[in-house]
Structure 1
């Protein structure tokens, strides 16, 4: 009954049930080795039966946590795993020694059994608290992701609004510009006319967003990051096509591009040499890919598809790529991070999606 209620309480996978018997046997053998008691004495002792069942449940709980380690609802760092195992080990050590003393003295009181049960309840509470905290951590990640997506959308809308105002301003003054150029030409001052047209073109280049993919969300994020990058002397090269029909939802594309471009812009902003970011979105080798490449001056350390960071706020830095991985997993895609001595590449690939033309545009 204890085993059944314990398994149900912690929602252990069906694979865990046959393991209880195995761990139970190991528990009896371990108890015999520690106490030196005979199998008959151990088998006839209610207290020993309880302690071996507790050992079996604790072992199965740890095994279940290990199996679920990769899931978002149960993510523990290496240090946390060590602390958890040490805590469980100490609880079991105390319980075994209590029963060992009782076996030596050949007396088992009701209080001894209650002490054992109290330690078992404490052990169960620890697992429950860890599971609850892990779940709340997953919710916090979701909240951070949504907040980041909203912020990126707001910046994109702001960039489009400013560009729309710039276009209206240029359109309003267009007739006046033509009159001015016409006057230069009437006086055969071709040089002045060319200079005037160059100044208008330069103003348009700075104020009008250069990229149009027929997808408002992608235009917003790419052009917003373009405006951020050019302020730091960064140039961009795009290989994109008509993205009016995307295999991903707009908010998910924004999450991927925002994080990839934020990292690329941050790195390029610190470079002393060439500052150029290459962005590619389209069909390649039967896959739809989103690729962002940027130069680096030193090798970037990558471990388990995560970038080692020196930032003080490591949680927020890690959340960015975690959010990207969540989006990639949502569409059953793949995420690859690679780096050599000169270039870092972020690559997300998804199921085949055809884009007719992929022109290369450089700014």
Structure 2
């Protein structure tokens, strides 16, 4: 009975595929209620595979096309537990199905070659150990080998959603043709046990499937390098903008220092004590604006706030700040400076388009449900268009703008956080959720 269960094609082949596909899912995000979804998906997949096998069984002895339909149907059904349990895009699912099928078929081809060289038969002959070894255990080993040799070394580039959809589909087509040729040469009885059926054709299939995997990961690596290059260009542009902002702050200080020199000379000429006291008070009020000191618990954030506050005050912007900088002290100083500096610069650019008296920016960093919430809010009376959660720039040359927001999202995702932007009731809201310091 046990042998009969493991021998069933709708049990063993989906198992081989799912094991091969699983190694591509190691870093994929899981859906809520993962285990119930996974178990339900498995049951549904087994039921549909058994039904598919029963429907096609009458055609088994009349057409080799039967095997193509049978195995591709099994592959399609394995998408059910994967799609239901993991949060994947369509291109990611196609990538995993193609990669998993290629991995399974490489193991199948290699096992046939090895058994032929050992003068053993690939077809089953009633032995449970032989069945478990050639239909189950060897596929676990094959999947592990692909993970160690291909997937893990390319983990940095393993961002499936960034893959080129056309190349993924092309890889899938190549894989289907490789399997088709393998089926054509492997299942006719005259090729069973021959070098053509057990060595030459499996070798060809192995090479084609290896090409599928290499092609997929080559595309991923190229996309990863392209993405990193774009981010470097974006960060360079942000650095240039922030240098301009710092220069502006220094120019403001120099200008005020120059004015103070003349004011001090004028003060020396004032003889009336009351007038002198009033003049001194005016000077003190003017100087106090540029003496903003922050002690938030994050030195990089303190620096950003001092610089931006100087500019806000000079331009007549009302700035409210309630932050606990120690919550983000685990972030690299360069990331804090780029993220917060860019966010405040964007808010500054928006409020400067508002009327005087309505130029208001509010900035908070606080706890929110065991997370760190960074909330930046500014007045925005204009309508904005959003694409993929990011406001579309209204500048003519869009290719040279929008980098700032993308780099912010890049930094947030680097720390496993989420970034949200919205426009409600005449206010632009930027919300960033990050893991707390304890969880980071």
TM-score in terms of structure 2 length? 0.51
Q: Give the 3-state SS of the residue equivalent to 2:413 in structure 1.
A: helix
State the Cα deviation string for residues 288-318 of structure 1 (Å, max 9, x = none): 5432111221145364xx3143432477345
Return closer, same or farther for 1:97/1:346 CA change in 2, 3 Å cut-off: same
Relative distance call for 1:115 and 1:349 in structure 2 (3 A) is closer
Residue deviations 1:16-59 (CA, integer Å, cap 9, x gap):
9x99xx79x96x969x97xx9932467xx7x9979987997899
Indicate how the Cα distance of structure 1 residues 50 and 221 shifts in structure 2: closer, same or farther if over 3 A, else same. Answer: same
Name the residue aligned to 1:240: 322
Q: 1:136 to 1:40 in 2, by over 3 A?
A: farther
Q: Any idea what SS the aligned residue of 2:364 has? A: strand
CA distance in 1, matches of 2:371, 2:255: 38
Matched, 1:345 2:357: no
Over 3 Å counting, the alpha-carbon distance change for 1:342 and 1:288 in structure 2 is same
Aligned to 1:277: 361
Structure 1 residue 230, shift from structure 2 partner: 6.1
Contact 2:52 2:70 in 1 (8 A): no
Taking a change above 3 Å as real, the CA distance of residues 189 and 316 of structure 1, as seen in their structure-2 partners, is: closer
How far, CA to CA, are the matches of 2:171 and 2:80 in structure 1? Answer: 9
2:214 corresponds to? 125
Q: How does 1:255-294 map to 2 (within 5 A)?
A: 255-271=338-354, 274-282=358-366, 289-294=373-378
Give the stretch that moved more between structures: 92-101 or 125-134: 92-101
Gap regions ≥5 residues in structure 1: 354-363
1:324-339 alignment, distance < 5 Å: 324-326=411-413, 328-329=415-416, 335-339=419-423
CA distance in 1, matches of 2:369, 2:205: 62
- The 1:60/1:161 distance shift into structure 2, 3 A limit, reads farther
Q: Distance in 2 between matches of 1:135 and 1:8?
A: 24
Q: Which residue of 2 aligns with 1:361?
A: none
CA pair 272-164 structure 1, distance change in 2 beyond 3 A: closer
* 1:323 alignment partner, one of 399, 410, 414: 410
- C-alpha distance in 2, partners of 1:209/1:327? 34
| Corresponding residue number in structure 1 for 2:151 | none
TM-fit CA distance, 1:130? 2.8
Query: In structure 2, what is the equivalent of residue 76 of structure 1?
Result: 161
- Superposed CA deviations along residues 325-355 of structure 1, whole A, max 9, x for unmatched, are 22552xxx664433214011112356789xx
Structure 2: segments with no counterpart, 5+ residues: 1-14, 27-34, 90-154
Distance in structure 1 (CA, Å) of the matches to 2:167 and 2:81? 12
The alignment yields a C-alpha RMSD, in angstroms, of 5.8
Q: Residue 96 of structure 1: CA displacement?
A: 6.5
Describe the SS at the equivalent of 1:76: helix
In the alignment, is residue 38 of structure 1 matched against residue 84 of structure 2? no
Determine the structure 1 residue equivalent to 2:294.
212
CA distance in 1, matches of 2:413, 2:170: 32
Q: Does 1:183 align with 2:269?
A: yes
Alpha-carbon distance in 2 for matches of 1:152, 1:244: 26
Matched, 1:254 2:337: yes
Distance in 2 (alpha carbons) for counterparts of 1:124 and 1:327? 27
**Cα contact 1:213–1:242 (8 A) shared by 2:** no
Check the 8 A contact 1:155/1:224 in 2, yes or no. no
Q: Which residue number in structure 1 is paired with residue 24 of structure 2?
A: 12
